[in-house]
Amino acid sequence: MSNKVNDEKIYIFDKPRNVSRLLLGFYIICAGLFVADFVVHRHLLHPWEGFPGFYAIYGFIACVMLVVIAKEMRKVLMRKEDYYDVKEENYDMDE
Amino acid sequence: MIWTSSLPPFIPFFIAAFLVLVTRGYLRNVILLATPVLGGLHLWLDVQPFVPMVASDALITAKELSYQFTIFNYQLEFMRVDKLSLLFGYLFHIASLISIIYALHVRDRTQQVASLLYAGSALGAVFAGDLISLFIFWEGLALSSVFLIWARRTEQAIKTGTRYLIFQVMSGVLLLAGALMYYHQTGSTEFNFIGIESTAGWLILMAFGIKSAFPFLHTWLSEGYPEATPTGTVFLSAFTTKVAVYALARGYPGTDLLVYIGAAMTCFPIFYAVIENDLRRVLAYSMINQVGFMVCGIGIGTALALNGAVAHAFNDVIFKGLLFMSMGAVLYRVGNINGSDLGGLYKSMPKTAMLCIVGAASISAFPLFSGFVSKSMVMAAMLQEGHNYLWLMLLFASAGVFHHAGIKIPYFAFFHHDSGIRVKEAPTNMLIAMTISAVLCIFIGTQPQYLYALLPWKVEYWPYDMTHVLAQLQILFFSALAFVWLNKQGLYPPELRSVNIDVEWTYRKLLPATARASYNVSQAFNRAVTGAVQRGWQGFQSVFQASRLSQYHLASSWPTGSMVLWIGVILGGYLLMDVCF
């Protein structure tokens, strides 16, 4: 159903400039959120939250860890797409 | 006449399923659409919880006494109405309406009938007042839903569907066994708090656990849902696990074990989701993760946590449905849903991309989107009850869910590098269904008071305060920052055409291999033993024939008479021994 065509139209993220603008805006927001911890008076439920930048640092580290561990898991878990198909052919043992 | 307030909501769906079977074309579509609309309006306008919820922790059950039946001395109650069952009743009507609109272009009687029976069974289950009628609808869910997988009609789908059905039926068998034991212990089959003090309680918990995809019992979901038809998965994602969450919330609130199981459920699937290539399978894993939050909430068991759990179930049906719909639309148009083969689809499916992003923002619990207002209740309750480390796990899972469902799904499907695929935008009916879901996500996210008013337990909670919003934005934006950084460093695992082995490996590979091996071993053993015995016997015979023993009279012919004589001698010996000693 899908058809690959060469359409000449330039879309918004085809221009590298738009991508870098988007990323720049994103970095500015991140920096602002980090600084906000020191400015805004917060009502804390838990002492760990009081550590400045707790959520920001935790979120960043959590995601990096997630990806690194998942990549390592790939070495153990990843199989070819037809992994289950091949053997399932001799699934039936009625010889 | 039919609009009595005690009409169990599953009946219109079952009648409609029959009507869909015998009608065609335009009329069939009208019946399909009218069923959830009229049923939902009826539930909203005519049915009130019998006793309003007043107590904070205790869930007061109100009964409407009509529609009771008796089967084998067990009383069946099909219409138990309280705020908990009503909430799920509303939810399932909304979900079935959205899913039916989404599937309106499908010309497949099997799927249409199955999906109505499936939605009806889900409604039957949440309004069931006793364990036996719960069991009936529990099996109804299993038997009707499997057709949505089989309807894909590929060999793989049929095999996967069969495995899915085995799990579902196992759950039903456990429920029935548990219910019967429960009846013999307590003399009642009423479905209220059960707890894990008795064996019956454990059996029923296992039954609920299979359907809510507890770790190691989850593979029917991660295997089955991605194998269903594009529209079938949308139905599947709405009902089975949410019925299980409802059942857990009623039978096991405050069961400590569930907090730990739930926390495990939030964490382990996200690793799989990161490396999985099939984007609908990514969503299936993230569904286990979301159900984990609900199970945690039920395990905590405070009013806030339980409200959070059921509110999150409500929201999850809508935003997870939206995500499955957007991926279903891609699958429908492109013909495959592998992250490795997609990319750049925002150019040809911009509306689907936008709607997918709304779903992604909701599941990631962005402020102003629906996930935020319900997940935060569970998180807050977790801290209140002093589960500090589990709270950290849930926080990790929250960051992770943004990573794989919030970013990975839209990014690899619609952005990333341009795969060169150019297709038409999704069909109008799909877009309408997705738009309804997206509007609901934003409406609930911005106006949570309407959802909160429907929640069964009474507790004051408001998610929007500066501290909380800031914390959530920080965790989300820095998770996104991690994604950007990992991508720029080239550390992000690329999407590869692959499968990852999970618990299903034990029964798809290990068990068959073990069976084959043990069959071969037993064959070899059999041959060896038979051979040894034969050789031994032959050896004995030849030795015996050569020896002088074979010359004796008894040995030469072995007549029956002499055998009887010797048996008589032996028995007589026994008798003597018996008398003497």
Could you write out the DSSP letters of every residue in B34-86? HHHHHHHHHHHHH---SS---SSS-----B--SSEEEETTEEEE--B-SHHHH
Q: Which of A2, A60, A73 sits opposite B275 (nearest CB)?
A: A73
Q: Which of B154, B272, B274 to mutate to test the interface with A (most CBs of A within 10 A)?
A: B274
Cα–Cα distance between B301 and B262 in angstroms, integer?
13
Interchain pair B422, A49: CB under 8 A? no
In A, minimum Cα distance to B481 occurs at A60
Residue in chain A closest to B416 (alpha carbons) equals A13
Cross-chain residue pair A78–B496, CB shorter than 8 Å? yes
Q: How many domains does chain B have?
A: 4
Say if residues B137 and B128 touch (Cβ distance below 8 Å).
Answer: yes
Residue B158 CA, distance from chain mean position: 18
Nearest-CB residue to B399 (from A59, A68, A69): A59
Task: With beta carbons under 8 A apart, name residues in chain B contacting A8.
Answer: none
How far is B570 from chain A, CA to nearest CA, in Å?
48
Collect all residues of chain A within an 8 Å Cβ-Cβ radius of residue B515. 93
Q: Please report residues of B whose CB lies closer than 8 A to that of A63.
A: 399-400, 403, 478-479, 482-483, 486
**Best of B376, B478, B488, B520 to mutate (most A CBs within 10 Å, chain A):** B478
Give the rounded distance of the alpha carbon of A13 from its chain centre: 19
Q: Which of B383, B423, B516 sits opposite A46 (nearest CB)?
A: B383
8 Å CB contact of A60 and B479: yes
For chains A and B, CB pairs below 8 A equal 176
Rounded to a whole number of angstroms, the distance from the CA of A73 to the nearest CA of chain B is 8
pLDDT of residue B505: 85
CA B301 to chain centre: 21
Q: Does residue A13 register a pLDDT over 90?
A: no
Domain that residue B41 falls in = 1-251
Could you give the ipTM of this predicted complex? 0.83
Mutate to test the interface with B, among A27, A67, A74, A88 (most CBs of B within 10 A): A67
Predicted confidence at residue B37, as pLDDT, reads 95
- Shortest CA gap A38–chain B (Å): 12
- Could you write out the DSSP letters of every residue in B213-266? T-TTS-HHHHHHGGGS-HHHHHHHHHHHHHHHHHHHHHH-TT-HHHHHHHHHHH
Residues on chain B touching A11 (C-beta within 8 angstroms): 346-347
Contacts of B274 in chain A (CB under 8 A): 66-67, 70
DSSP percent split of chain B into helix, strand, coil, nearest 5: 75, 5, 25
Residues of chain B with pLDDT under 70: 1-5, 50-73, 551-559, 581
pLDDT (0 to 100) of residue A28: 93
Q: B251, B272, B289 — which closes off a domain?
A: B251
For A11, the closest of B347, B479, B498 (CB atoms) is B347
**∠B369-B372-B376 over CA atoms, to 5°?**
170
- Asked whether the beta carbons of residue B500 and residue A37 sit closer than 8 angstroms, the reply is no
Report DSSP state, residue B321. H
Look up residue A28 and give its two tokens.
Answer: 């500015």
Nearest CB to B422; choose among A3, A55, A80: A3
Per-residue pLDDT, B191: 93
pLDDT at B5: 63
Q: Do B275 and A71 touch (CB under 8 A)?
A: yes
- The 3-state DSSP class for residue B130 equals strand
> Which of B222, B251, B280 marks a domain boundary?
B251
pLDDT at residue B288, as a whole number = 96
Chain A positions touching B486 (Cβ under 8 A) are 63-64, 67
Residues B508, B447 share a domain: no
By 3-state DSSP, what share of chain A in percent is helix, strand and coil, each rounded to 5?
A: 65, 5, 30
Asked if B150 and B23 count as a contact pair (C-beta separation under 8 A), the reply is no
Q: Which residue of B has its CA nearest to A64?
A: B482
Q: Which residues neighbour B580 within 8 Å (Cβ) at sequence distance 6 or greater?
A: none
Round to whole Å and give the CA distance between B175 and B409: 36
| CA atoms A19, A20, A25, A30: torsion sign | positive
Among A66, A77, A95, most B C-beta atoms within 10 A, so best to mutate, is A66
- What is the end-to-end Cα distance of chain B in Å, rounded? 86
Q: How far is B19 from chain A (nearest CA, A)?
A: 33
In three-state secondary structure terms, B100 is helix
Please report the pLDDT score of residue B511 as a whole number. 86
Tell me the two tokens of residue B498.
């692959």
Asked if B115 and B145 count as a contact pair (C-beta separation under 8 A), the reply is no
Tell me the chain B residues in contact with residue A85 when contact means C-beta distances shorter than 8 Å: 156
B contacts of A53 (beta carbons < 8 Å): 474
Instruction: Give the one of A6, A60, A83 whose C-beta lies nearest to B478's C-beta.
Output: A60
Q: How many CB atoms lie within 10 A of CB B383?
A: 17
Q: Could you tell me if B394 and B447 lie in one domain? A: yes
Q: Are B530 and B485 in the same domain?
A: no
> What is the pLDDT, as a whole number, of residue B71?
67
pTM: 0.86
Q: Out of A23, A45, A48, whose CB is closest to B484? A: A23
Nearest Cβ partner for A43 among B467, B485, B501? B467
A63 and B479: CB-CB below 8 Å?
yes
